[in-house]
Amino acid sequence: MAITLDQANDKIHCYVNGELKQTITGIQDSGRNMKYNLVVGGDIRNGNSYYFEGTMDSVAIWSDLRTGKEIAADYANGIDSADKNLVAAFDLTLCHKCMKEDLSKNSNDLEHIILWQDK
């Protein structure tokens, strides 16, 4: 699954297995900066009870707006760890309770902390 935020056109796109499945418009995102650390599977805002329920094998973050063609290529060929716009990439299958090493060149390692689940 890939999610893109297109602030200029006020849209969010959702891709599954490299194919566009849904577009949401009218997101009214002001471009505000995040004041919390990145949390995979949820966030740490006070009172937030919404978390991802499922499994993830990998997570990647880019600094640019990915095109459908780029997303399809990443799905088909794997992520290019040398891509200059790749901020961080993690293979979550490598180890269960350990630091996840960033596969991009940026060394944005991911710490494993369980805040909301038993497994």
**pLDDT exceeds cutoff 90 at 22:** yes
More confident residue, 20 or 57: 20
Query: In which band, very low, low, confident or very high, does the pLDDT at 51 lie, cut at 50, 70 and 90?
Result: low
Q: What pairing do the DSSP bridges indicate for beta strands 86-91 and 11-16?
A: unpaired
Which residues, listed in sequence order, are joined to residue 5 by a DSSP beta bridge? 12
Position 109 scores a pLDDT of: 78
Give me the mean pLDDT over the 27-47 stretch. 63
More confident residue, 37 or 11: 11
What pTM, to 2 d.p., does this model score? 0.66
| Token couple for 109 | 């390692």
**pLDDT exceeds cutoff 90 at 103:** no
